Amino acid sequence: MENIYVAESGANGTIHIDEFDGHKSKAALNGTHDISNDRALTILIVGAGIGGLTTAIALRQAGHMQWHFTPAGHLRRRLRLKSDVGQGNVIRSMNMRGSSKIWQHPWHLAHRIHLHDTLKRTATSKGGQGSACELHMGSRIRDVDELKGMITLETGETVTGDVVIGADGVHSVARNSIDSNAQPFGCGKSAFRFLIPKGAIKNDPITSRLVDDEGELKIWYGEDRRIAWVLLDMDEIPVWNKHRLALIGDAAHPFLPHQGQGAGAAIEDAAALAVVLPLGTQPAEVPQRLSLYDTIRHARATRIQHLSRIIGGDDLHKKQELDMFGFTSYNFGHDEFDNSAQKFREYLWSLNEKKYSRMPLAFGPMPGPRQDHFGRPRNGSSSTFVTASIQFKTSATALRTLFPPGREGYAFSKPGTVAYASFSCTALNKMAWLGGGGYNHIGLYIHGVEYTYKGAYMPILFESLADPIVSVREELGMPKLFSTVEIARGEKSYHARTGWRGVNWGTFSLSGLSEAALSVTSMTGSDDEGILVHRYIPSVGRENKGKTEADYAVFDKFSEAVPQARVTRTLVAEEAEFSIDGLSWDELPTLHHVISRLAGLPVYEIVGAKVVEGTGVSDVGSAKPC
């Protein structure tokens, strides 16, 4: 049960309590918030104006976080501006039918009282998500303890929660707990506001023509102004939050009324708060989340506040410099839910500084074998592997042609023209990052190669799934390509077949398999210290052909692998063979140049073959440049 207590300070004299059921969500914000504990927060809202009620509604819906709160300016209107004071002569008229098409939502014009009543009904209704709000009238706030999250009523009664929201207007009591020196002051101007029924204007022959056209906004500016409503302003507060307290609306940023953006900004504040406080937020996280709210909202609200001052001021030069259409776009071309949701995603992504980021960047860290979507490390200790390897004696001079061309430093550790290599085929399963599934891969490992480190040089690795290919190519620089890798096992045999779009290019067979002592050899098929590969990334653009962005060797040391593999079974083959056919460019249009080179390697002798089974699949995160 999430509790929201909404109390008005002296401004409107009301307190209301909102208690509602939280709705469990494991994918709030479209998968950006991983909720491990759905404990709801107790939220105290000081104030029951438009901002306070909207906040109550938004937090009531926090279980799903699917409400869309538009700024108050999203109104579809046909607008005509500035009539000559006195005679009603049109000075300037603009048809907004065409320009209104740029807005994604309809424009709605609502009287402030009607909007407030609707918000109140929505907050207190029995229907809808969450429990209805219960309003308690006449309770005033005396003090807010921002550290404890406690409000004290004038009666001396105290209420404590996880969050306190100060929505108590320009004369805010809650604001004193953040900045007691911030007080509103008269801006030097006043206003007189009143409502006249349209019928009264229509029935007067002098004014009837002013309301002939539907869907219009007409404005008159005059120099003679009656002093009736002192317009209050306030200097900017450096921050709107402190510990468990956050300010919204006029409590944080009182607006002069020259743009009519005060209520809209308060609604935007409410939307931002609901985003940064989804169901599952822990009490210990509240201060940081409220700081994030301030970061999201402060600059935008302050800018609108500043420009409202200019519009209502007497400095004609400053007014003439304003781009009114540009500022209208700034006011209305903003959706605070979309904005806050993205900022909240970026905040969650930033919690783990050491993470892999790769394309497409817009969606945040990419999940893979080394991390989840939030950059948290994976644990592959329960994953399984079955590796079949065939080691053969071949030509060292032929293998040297598979070293990175033009890159010096790669060499065999021992002299001579004979060397050893292995084709090693591995089936991986129970991979958490693949939802418990797995994939197969097969690669060529050239033993006894050194480049700063000694290990098995891997010129190519074929895999049967796109996800690990993309992940490891981008993050670790492994030379991976796609190929189907089909594996069939008999009681004493193992067979693998490789191909591309129905065309088979390789077969690998082990027969006469029998139990043997547990092997401690690696996936390379020998006792290598690690794997050597060469990372190469080309520059972008036709004019940059032949230029590189990355070009260096990478070494993955087996002793640093996490987790370490645990071999549970080893089978040794009596016989083994493999056959590779390079086929043609028509049959292998993207692989022929690779497969034909593998097919050309001479096989002087099959040295050994085996199948190794076990648990614990390394994330290859120990790979590093060398």
Q: Dump pLDDT digits (tens) for 362-416.
A: 889 999 999 999 889 999 999 999 999 999 999 999 999 999 999 999 999 999 9
- Note the pLDDT of residue 429: 98
pLDDT (0 to 100) of residue 223: 55
Residue 421's pLDDT is what? 98
Q: What pLDDT is recorded for position 258?
A: 60
Structure tokens at 504: 């088979």
Mean per-residue pLDDT of the chain: 83
Residue identified by tokens 């104030």 is 47
Distance CA 362, CA 370 (A): 20
Residue 269: strand, helix, or coil = helix
Exposed/middle/buried for residue 411 (C-beta within 10 Å: 0-12, 13-18, 19+):
middle
360: preceding bond cis by omega (within 30 degrees): yes
pTM of the predicted model, to two decimals?
0.78
d(CA 71, CA 334): 7
Give the model's pLDDT for residue 129: 76
Burial (0-12, 13-18, 19+ Cβ within 10 Å), 410: middle
524 and 391 in contact (C-beta within 8 Å)? no
H-type alpha helices, 456-560: 466-476
4-17+37-69+110-184+235-321 classified as CATH 3.40.50.300: no
Nearest Cα to 388, choosing from 580, 610, 579, 606? 610
Identity at 303, one-letter amino acid code = R
Residue 25: its pLDDT value, please?
Answer: 33
Which contiguous run of DSSP H or E holds residue 324? helix 324-332
Low-confidence ranges of the chain (pLDDT < 50): 1-2, 8-36, 63-86, 227
What gap in Å lies between CA 482 and CA 465, rounded to an integer?
Answer: 7
> Is residue 533 a contact partner of residue 477, using CB atoms and an 8 Å limit?
yes
According to the model, what pLDDT value does residue 33 have? Answer: 41
Exposure string over 33-49, b if 16+ CB within 10 A, otherwise e = bebeebebbbbbbbbbb
Per-domain boundaries in the chain: 4-17+37-69+110-184+235-321, 384-625
Query: Is it true that 4-17+37-69+110-184+235-321 and 384-625 share their CATH fold?
Result: no
- The secondary element (H helix, E strand) that includes residue 233 is strand 229-233
User: Which option is the CATH number for 384-625: 1.10.510.10, 2.40.400.10, 1.20.1250.20, 1.10.3130.10?
Assistant: 2.40.400.10
H or E segment to which residue 319 belongs: helix 316-321
- Output the pLDDT for position 476: 93
> To 10 degrees, what angle do helices 336-350 and 286-312 make?
140
Tokens of 565: 């593999």
User: Which tokens go with 236?
Assistant: 């900017």
- Three-state SS at 116: helix
Residue 574's pLDDT is what? 98
Write out pLDDT tens, residues 261-277.
888 889 999 999 999 99
Say what the pLDDT of residue 188 is: 61
Q: Which residue matches tokens 């590796």?
A: 387
